[in-house]
A and B are shown apart, each in its own frame.
Chain A
Amino acid sequence: MLTELDYSAIILTLKLAGLTTLILLIISPPLAWWLARSRLFFRPFIEALVALPLVLPPTVLGFYLLISFSPDNFIGGFWLRLTGDTLAFSFQGLLIASLIYSLPFVVQPLQSAFVNLDKDYLEVAATLGFNPIETFYRVVFPMMLPSFIIAGALGFAHTVGEFGVVLMIGGNIPGETQLLSIALFDHVETLQYQQAHLLSFGLLTFSMTLLVLIYGVLQKRQQSIIHA
């Protein structure tokens, strides 16, 4: 059956995914808004940069993160001076990696929602006396709520399922960087099929439920609002 290490890996994974989702839901809306509205010539480059984790093998990201986390390099060195600890093999390091890795999963649903958002509604909001920030939280956010939930759910699910990057920069430290996907990998590698099955099936059920919710309920809801 599941060991204490497994449970600690599950809790750690939920903590990482929760934090990642929270931070992404704060930084993604302005970014997605800019991507949806900007006509600047360098917008496609930023868009591509955000989307890169979708197409790159996680190893590439992991490899570059490992290099940049090194105390010999700027980011790793800065972090070491700031906190006295290295960024690689730490929870904070994983968090940074997750933020990068899951960013497109949160930005893209929001971006497509904002592209579909009729500018007319923003004009109405202005005539109701709302400044852009008020317009965002009084009109855009409630109107696009299903898309925000989709974005959050995809970001969360993707972080939970993250493996390649974690394998490369995690260092497999129990309670710190040993995540569910790594624990699962260990079980498979060491031929502990029962635990592997349990964790895999749990992960599968979780992801499946989330995706059915997204595609079956939330997306329909958003469509019915957009095309009202």
Chain B
Amino acid sequence: MVLKVSKKLLIKMTRCLFLLILLCSISVQASIKVAVASNFKTTLIEIAARYEKQTGQKILISSASTGILYHQIQQGAPFDLFLSADRERAELTEASDKGVTGSRFTYAQGQIAFWSPQDPEPVNADTLQNFRGRIAIANPKLAPYGLAAEQALKNLNLLEQFSYVQGANISQTYQFVDSGNVKAGFVAYSLLLEHQADHFFVIPTTYYQPILQQGVLLSGAIQRAEVTDFMAYLTSTAIQTLIRSKGYLTIKYVN
């Protein structure tokens, strides 16, 4: 008796569960799933909100480090669009069977700044020249902002002047300095603006290779037209102005 009842119950529960999953997948199917590098997440949320208001199209945002997202996509993660923090991973994705050839585009160009929050004096090029000791940078091997910092330091002949603490990504590097464990560091200008920080000096872009944050359409995308629309929206003048206000440079060309 008991067994029979529980069996019935089990069947009912299984049905409910199926229904639930079905419902979920229906609602998910209607939205665009974007995998975005962590540093661009807050900006993308704002853009997505605007887009949804204008078009009714839902954007589902997943964020992680570019490296992790890249691996996930290579392993078949069901994203429609990949917004990488660099150019390399976007290129690799485009070249693989997971990306759509020819769909790669630059959506933002990052800037780095030297940040020394505890400095009593205004921070400028001289501050950097005269700074001694340990500074925080993002790991140049992992993070494009770290690579840019390294290039800038090399071009300024300052690479040997400091010892380094490396963050795995640019937000961690920001934390190192923000928590007071390191006096100064090279961080993303966008992060400084986001947190309304001061005592920083934006490094002129001539000192490092452009940090191109590129996106690529993924071959798994079902509603390709909708995703392409959103990609176009990202590079539209209105949105580029918004992006620029967040501490990025305006894109002059798309390659």
**Contact surface of A with B, Cβ cutoff 8 Å:** 66-67, 69-73, 76, 86, 88-89, 167-169, 171-173, 185-186, 188-191
What residues on A are CB-neighbors of B181 within 8 Å? 66, 69-71, 76, 86, 88-89, 169
Q: Which of B47-55, B161-169, B228-236, B240-248 contacts A (4 or more CB under 8 A)?
A: B161-169
Q: Does B39 contact A (CB under 8 A)?
A: no
When C-beta atoms are compared, the residue in chain B nearest to A67 turns out to be B179
Contact A172:B165 (CB < 8 A) given known A66-B175, A186-B141, A190-B141: yes
Give A188 to B142 CA distance when docked, in angstroms: 10
> Is there an interface contact between A185 and B168, defined as CB atoms closer than 8 Å?
yes
What residues on B are CB-neighbors of A171 within 8 Å? 136, 164-167, 176, 182
What residues on A are CB-neighbors of B210 within 8 Å? none
What residues on A are CB-neighbors of B65 within 8 Å? 189
> Is there an interface contact between A188 and B67, defined as CB atoms closer than 8 Å?
yes
> Is there an interface contact between A190 and B179, defined as CB atoms closer than 8 Å?
no
Q: Does B139 contact A (CB under 8 A)?
A: yes
> Is there an interface contact between A70 and B141, defined as CB atoms closer than 8 Å?
no
Give A142 to B172 CA distance when docked, in angstroms: 46
B interface, size bucket: 20 to 34
What residues on A are CB-neighbors of B175 within 8 Å? 66, 168
Most buried by B among A72, A167, A172: A172
Interface residues in B180-207 (C-beta closer than 8 Å to A): 180-182
Give A112 to B166 CA distance when docked, in angstroms: 40
Q: Does B154 contact A (CB under 8 A)?
A: no
Q: Does B71 contact A (CB under 8 A)?
A: yes
Taking a contact as CB atoms closer than 8 A, the residue among B134, B142, B164, B167 that contacts A190 in the complex is B142
What residues on A are CB-neighbors of B165 within 8 Å? 88-89, 171-173
Enumerate 28 A-B pairs (CB-CB under 8 Å) in ascending A order: A66-B179, A67-B179, A70-B179, A71-B181, A76-B180, A76-B181, A86-B181, A88-B176, A88-B182, A89-B176, A167-B168, A168-B172, A168-B175, A171-B165, A171-B167, A171-B176, A172-B139, A172-B165, A172-B167, A172-B168, A173-B163, A173-B165, A173-B166, A186-B139, A189-B65, A189-B142, A190-B142, A191-B92
> Is there an interface contact between B180 and A70, defined as CB atoms closer than 8 Å?
yes
Give A71 to B65 CA distance when docked, in angstroms: 29
When C-beta atoms are compared, the residue in chain B nearest to A86 turns out to be B181
Give A188 to B71 CA distance when docked, in angstroms: 9
Give A76 to B182 CA distance when docked, in angstroms: 12
Given A69-B179, A172-B165: 18 more A-B contacts, CB < 8 Å: A67-B179, A69-B181, A70-B179, A70-B180, A71-B181, A88-B176, A88-B181, A167-B168, A169-B181, A171-B136, A171-B182, A172-B168, A173-B164, A185-B168, A189-B67, A189-B142, A190-B142, A191-B92
What residues on A are CB-neighbors of B134 within 8 Å? 89
Contact with A along B72-106 (1 / 0, CB 8 A): 00000000000000000000100000000000000
A182 to chain B: closest CB distance in Å? 8
A172 to chain B: closest CB distance in Å? 4
Taking a contact as CB atoms closer than 8 A, the residue among A169, A173, A189 that contacts B141 in the complex is A189
What residues on B are CB-neighbors of A67 within 8 Å? 179
What residues on B are CB-neighbors of A69 within 8 Å? 179, 181
Give 9 closest A-B pairs by Cβ, nearest first. Answer: A171-B165, A88-B181, A70-B180, A172-B166, A189-B67, A72-B180, A89-B165, A189-B142, A70-B179
A174 to chain B: closest CB distance in Å? 10
